[in-house]
Every structure is written in C-alpha cells, then in structure tokens.
Amino acid sequence: MAARWVRGSSRSAGTDAGAQERPAPVRRRAVGVGAAALGGALALTAAAVTPAAAHSGGHPGAGHGRPAAVRYVALGDSYTSGPAIPTQVDANCARSDENYPSLVDRAGRFARFTDVSCGGATTAQMWQAQGTNGPQLDAVTQDTTLVTLQIGGNDIGFSSIIATCAGLSVTAPTGSPCKQHYRAVGIDQLTVDVVKTAPKIAQVLHEVHHRAPHARVVVVGYPDLLPDDGVGCFPAVPFAAGDFPYLRDTEKQLNAMLKIEALFGGAEYVDTYRPTVGHDMCKAPADRWIEPLVPASPAAPAHPNAKGEQVMAQAVTAKVGGRRG
C-alpha cells in the first residue's frame, strides 16, 4: 500500500510449479450501486451467509490435554511482509525477518513457520504467482494448524488512492477534493470497492479451510494510518484537511468488512487499528509507528516501521498465544 509495493518470494513453503487456477466464487453477492452505507451493504451480504460451522470444530489439540505442534503459515501483502525494514530476507517480496509473522513465530516457538507474504499482493496472488513467489495458498497444507491473513488493501487500491489524494490536495488544501473525486458519480466509489472486495476475502477463507481443515485461521486488520481524530498535518502528509477524516473512515470501512468476513468465514479477527491509534504517520518521528510518504525510519511510505510491526505482532500473539509446538 504505497506507491506500488515491492514484490517478492517465499522463505520456505513448497509451491507447485504450475499455479492453480482460481476457483469459481464461493458465493455470489450483489453490490449495491446506490448510495447505501457500507454497514447496510455488508449486513445484507452477511445475512445471506451461514456461519462456517464446519470450520469451527475446535483448534488443533483442544480438549486433548497437550496441544498439537503448531505449523504456522503467514499470508498477506506489504503490511505483513515489512518492506524496507531491516533485515530484508527476500528482495522480490520486500520481506523482513522483523515483520509481525516472524515476531509471532519467535514468541510462540512454533514447530514450523512459513511466511509467503509479499509486497503488492492482492487476493489474486493467493492463487497466482508473484515474481518468484508462488501462489501463497500453496503454502497451506493439510497439516497446517495456524494461518494468519492480512489482505484487501491492494484490492481496493490503496496505492492509487494515496497518489490520487496527494495529487488533488494542492488544488484545495483546506477542502476535500479527494472525497469529491471519489463521489463524483453520486456514490462513494471507495465504499463500493470495499464491498466488492468482501467476496474475494470470503473466497480466500473458504480455500484456506479447504486446504487446511483443522487450522485456526486469523484475519489481521490494518493499523491506524492517519490521525483518528481526523485532524490532518498538511503538508507533512499531503492530503487536504477534509480528506483526512474521509480516508480514515475508508480504512475503518475496510477493517469492518474484514472483521465481518472473518466472523462469517469461520475465522477470528485481530484488531491492529486500536493498538496503533496515536502513532499514525502525522506524529513526530519518535512517536510514530507508521511512516509518512517520506519515511524517516526504515520502512516503505505509508507503511509500518519496525515498531509498528512489533505492535501488530503483540496483537496477534495475544490472540494466538499459548499454542506452542
């Protein structure tokens, strides 16, 4: 989610030479083209889905005394991979060994750890190779017992949103030119894009459960990028004053959708937004965990720095902790 995420490859994980074709959609959803609010649209889609009871039959080892060894697979985009954070272990995917999956693995001392997250990934890269990185879902196998998934930001086009809103900010720095741009046709296009991404997330979760029927699946939300109070910091972060709350609300819509899809897709959800409030890209270098468009600490623009990855790791570890292998 910056101006084109850097891509990359897998540290472990056996991947097929021939990538599987993406399966037909798990379920169809109608995307409203009126001015319906995201909450209503998602409520309608969620109401049509039966909770994935088949996938909620307990975590590996539950109720059997000693837990089974945890075999952990991390799927995701650049917020997972940690571009520019030392030490980079995969140039193709801009993957750091200090990203949150690596930190979660160290905290849990899991039996096996496979990180196939890749900068620039969308839900399509779950089934399609990305440079030297094979389809991410190829890392998920029958013996996988824990999967974390952080995806969807690139599906709604975070990089193009950032570029568009930064470019428009100079035309009306005290107004909301970005918001006006995305509502030019009478509906909010970013809200529509979030709703359209929902069935893609559902499809990924369905496939994860199919490949690893006994795995605990955790969907990880995105951290707080902009001031939660909506007060901007132009020109340090070049968005118009009225676009700061608009873009903040767009990210909250994305996270709300991910939480709903986790609920109805037999998964759990980890909120990384609330733990990072007050440490957004407008804060001073010593206080921020998300770097602005011109980073002062090693990180990609508009991405978590090392501290941000640590805080996300703490949130995930608090959810999955205690299942060591």
Note the pLDDT tens digit of each residue in 129-139: 999 999 999 99
Range of the domain at 165: 68-320
* CATH number, domain containing residue 189: 3.40.50.1110
**What is the distance between the alpha carbons of residues 300 and 46, in angstroms, rounded to a whole number?**
34
- The per-residue pLDDT for 197 is 98
**What is the distance between the alpha carbons of residues 55 and 4, in angstroms, rounded to a whole number?**
35
Q: Please write the tens of the pLDDT for every residue from 256-272.
A: 999 999 999 999 999 99
Q: Is residue 309 domain-resident?
A: yes
- The per-residue pLDDT for 321 is 83
Angle in degrees, CA 215, 218, 220, rounded to 5: 155
**What is the distance between the alpha carbons of residues 80 and 304, in angstroms, rounded to a whole number?**
9
Sign of CA dihedral 175, 176, 181, 184: negative
- The per-residue pLDDT for 160 is 97
- The per-residue pLDDT for 1 is 44
Angle in degrees, CA 135, 120, 185, rounded to 5: 115
Assign 3-class secondary structure to 83-129.
Answer: CCCCCEEECCCCEECCCHHHHHHHHHCCCEEEECCCCCCCHHHHCCC
| Contact status, residue 50 vs residue 27, Cβ threshold 8 Å | no
Q: Is residue 274 domain-resident?
A: yes
- What is the rounded radius of gyration, in angstroms, for the C-alpha atoms of the chain? 19
**What is the distance between the alpha carbons of residues 134 and 81, in angstroms, rounded to a whole number?**
15
**What is the distance between the alpha carbons of residues 137 and 140, in angstroms, rounded to a whole number?**
5
- The per-residue pLDDT for 265 is 98
Three-state SS for 278? coil
pTM exceeds 0.85, yes or no: no
Q: Is residue 41 domain-resident?
A: no
Dihedrals φ, ψ of 210, to 5°? -65, -40
Q: Which residue has the tokens 């140039």?
A: 91
- The per-residue pLDDT for 213 is 98
- The per-residue pLDDT for 236 is 94
> Cβ contacts of residue 253 below 8 Å, gap of 6+?
38, 190, 191, 194
Q: Is residue 56 domain-resident?
A: no
**What is the distance between the alpha carbons of residues 174 and 168, in angstroms, rounded to a whole number?**
11
Q: Is residue 42 domain-resident?
A: no
Dihedrals φ, ψ of 310, to 5°? -65, -40
Active site residues: 78, 303
Q: Token digits for 317?
A: 């570890």
* Separation of CA 15 from chain center: 22
Task: Tell me the CB-side half-sphere exposure of residue 16, using CA atoms within 13 A.
Answer: 13
- Of 231, 224, 241, 228, the residue nearest 168 (C-alpha): 241
Q: Is residue 34 domain-resident?
A: no
Q: Is residue 4 domain-resident?
A: no
**What is the distance between the alpha carbons of residues 268 and 130, in angstroms, rounded to a whole number?**
27
**What is the distance between the alpha carbons of residues 236 and 234, in angstroms, rounded to a whole number?**
5
* Separation of CA 192 from chain center: 18
- Count structural domains, the chain: 1
How confident is the chain (325 residues) per 10-residue block, as mean pLDDT? Answer: 36 37 43 43 42 42 57 98 98 98 97 98 98 98 98 97 97 98 98 98 98 98 98 96 98 98 98 98 98 97 98 98 54
- Of 316, 318, 323, 302, the residue nearest 83 (C-alpha): 302
Burial 5-43 (b: 16+ CB within 10 A, else e): bbbbbbbebebeeebeebeeebeebeebeeebebeebbe
Residue 252 to residues 48, 50, 86, 99, 225, Cα–Cα distance (Å): 23, 24, 29, 23, 10
Q: Is residue 61 domain-resident?
A: no
β-sheet bridge partners, residue 304: 290
